[in-house]
A and B are shown apart, each in its own frame.
Chain A
Amino acid sequence: MQWDINSARPVYLQLIEQVQAMIISGYYKPGDKLSSVRELAAEAGVNPNTMQKALSELERTGLVYTNRTSGRFITSDESMIQKLKEQSARGQIKEFIERMKQLGYPPRETLTLITKVIQEETE
């Protein structure tokens, strides 16, 4: 797994985003066991306390849970993962709509254009 950390933003936020992305992309499957904090920190090349903070935050949202004796796991709740996926898709769409506005396309025209491009692609 390739972690991509940029030093200008709080690192724990980037770790949260990247674990979420790994869950969405299916790199982590529901119920998968995570490596130890130390191992994950070494893999990402970040401070173990920072990794700990990111995992605690993911635990708080329920995406990750800790089993006292056997370690840390990705949630098995697929509806939660589905929700995360949709949340992330919505975020991307909003950003895209904003960028299209800057190009001078109001949302309705953007939608028409998207439909057109999809049709062309599938032809």
Chain B
Amino acid sequence: MGAILECKSLTKHYSALAALSNVNLTLERGRIIGLLGPNGSGKTTLIKLINGLLVPTAGTLLIGGKEPGPETKKIVSYLPEKTYLPDWMRVSDTINFFQDFYEDFDQKRAYEMLDRLHLDPSKRLKTLSKGTKEKVQLILVMSRNADLYCLDEPIGGVDPAARDYILNTIISNYNENATVIISTHLIADIERVLDEVVFIKDGIVTLHASVEDIRSREGKSIDTLFREVFRC
């Protein structure tokens, strides 16, 4: 099987602003990859391009050999930064919604995860705390048997215990041929679950390496390296 994601000279401009410049990036299957960069560095732009929500200004992007479109949406599971599920929905409604939308959705798995959280599926989203709502969304996204998971800031709004829960959910639910991209600036919390990191700065990919290689070569954590590279 080939790479799950291949970007060649990928560029995205928002009028005069270059959000991504000439990105060449190949991601293999079976990895958990941290997409790391400060605010406004282009992380979300890249994830939106992968999900076909934006169109490249120049260059190409292929997912499992295909350009973003209906075929790739079947194999990409996306957790956006912001929630899009209407507040009036019950948790069980959101599960039915995903069941209708995605062939690869595993309803049983979703209910098992909710059960482990002691979350009542008949509750409406508006009655849930922000953190719980984020967990529900993650459960929906991770209950798909996708080839590529794109998680945009999955741990931003939750407490450290909930972070552990979320990372655990990610580790236990992706299959070995799938790749997970996690975009975040909270590196210390997630670096132990990563295989690789991609550093992105002002729309340019400055580093793509294995985290264990970085640790043996530099003798420091990814968090420390990040702070050095991105010192303001």
Specify whether A and B are partners.
Answer: yes
Hey, which bits of chain A sit against chain B, CB under 8 A?
A: 5-12, 38-39, 41-42, 45-50
| Interchain CA distance A6-B224 in the complex, whole Å | 12
Stretch at the interface among B16-24, B60-68, B118-126, B188-196: B188-196
Contact in complex: B30, A47 (CB < 8 Å)? no
Q: Which residues of B contact A39 (CB under 8 A)?
A: 172
Q: Which residues of A contact B32 (CB under 8 A)?
A: 47
The majority secondary structure among interface residues of chain B is helix
| Interchain CA distance A50-B32 in the complex, whole Å | 11
Q: Which of B32-56 contact A (CB under 8 A)?
A: 32
Q: Which residues of B contact A42 (CB under 8 A)?
A: 168, 171-172
Number of B interface residues in the complex (CB < 8 A): 25
Contact in complex: A8, B193 (CB < 8 Å)? no
Q: Which residues of B contact A8 (CB under 8 A)?
A: 215, 219-221, 224
Contact in complex: B171, A7 (CB < 8 Å)? no
| Interchain CA distance A51-B143 in the complex, whole Å | 23
CB distance from A49 to the nearest CB of B (A): 5
User: B93 near A: Cβ within 8 Å?
Assistant: no
User: B216 near A: Cβ within 8 Å?
Assistant: yes
| Interchain CA distance A43-B179 in the complex, whole Å | 20
| Interchain CA distance A50-B211 in the complex, whole Å | 10
Q: A11-B212, A12-B212, A45-B168 are in contact. Are A5 and B192 (CB under 8 A)?
A: yes
Residue in chain B with minimal CB distance to A51: B171
User: B31 near A: Cβ within 8 Å?
Assistant: yes
Q: A8-B215, A11-B212, A11-B215 are in contact. Are A47 and B221 (CB under 8 A)?
A: no
18 other contacts beyond A8-B224, A10-B212, with CB at 8 A cut-off? Answer: A6-B221, A8-B219, A9-B215, A10-B216, A11-B215, A39-B172, A41-B171, A42-B168, A45-B164, A45-B167, A45-B168, A45-B193, A46-B192, A47-B192, A47-B195, A48-B171, A49-B31, A50-B195
Q: Which residues of B contact A6 (CB under 8 A)?
A: 221
CB distance from A10 to the nearest CB of B (A): 5
Residue-wise, chain B 195-232 has the 8 Å CB interface mask toward A (1 for contact) of 10000000000000001100110011111100000000
